[in-house]
Amino acid sequence: MGDAGERPAWLIARRVLGAVALLVWGLVFARYGVTVVRGGSMEPALAPNDVVIYRRGGSAIAQGDIVLFDHEGWPGGVLHRVRALEPGGLLQTQGDANPAPDRELVPRTRVRGVVCGIVPIGRWGRCVGERFGSCAILNRQSNTATR
């Protein structure tokens, strides 16, 4: 064994790798964000409780993109699809499940980011609930009847 002040190489390597991992995660979260879908206005593309990953910023937006933008009364922002790019950097947005476009045009300065990934947790949960929900109800009733 070495001096009492020396640390094993594996311990130093683990600390260095931990610091590198924290740096990488910090860089990822500086460029990307995550939010949870709260409403049904974007169904079927996005279901309530789906997790959405978005690229921060509003500079590279195209027609058809789903964007997260700030909107008064919605502290978590609004996720809607870009229907048209209007003059002056304004966006015409609409929820996929909504019959008409949003009344207000959205300035690019209010865009938090463009959706680049979806984790369909909401759809998975709904599918499991639909598939096994009746079984759970029947099971609860039978347990109650046997007590």
pLDDT at 7: 74
pLDDT at 21: 83
pLDDT at 128: 63
| Contact call for residues 66 and 129 (beta carbons, < 8 A) | no
Domains contained in the chain, CATH given? 33-141 (2.10.109.10)
pLDDT at 141: 38
Beta strands in 6-139 (DSSP E): 32-36, 51-56, 66-71, 74-86, 90-94, 106-107, 111-119
Q: pLDDT tens, position by position, for the chain (147 residues)?
A: 555 567 788 888 888 888 888 887 887 778 999 999 999 999 999 999 999 999 999 888 999 999 999 999 999 999 999 999 999 989 999 999 999 999 999 999 999 999 999 999 987 766 666 655 544 443 333 333 333
Bridge partners of 81, per DSSP, are 66, 94
Which SS3 state, helix, strand or coil, does residue 114 take?
Answer: strand
The reported pTM is: 0.71
Q: What value, to the nearest 5°, has the Cα angle with vertex 44 and ends 98 and 66?
A: 70
| Contact call for residues 118 and 54 (beta carbons, < 8 A) | no
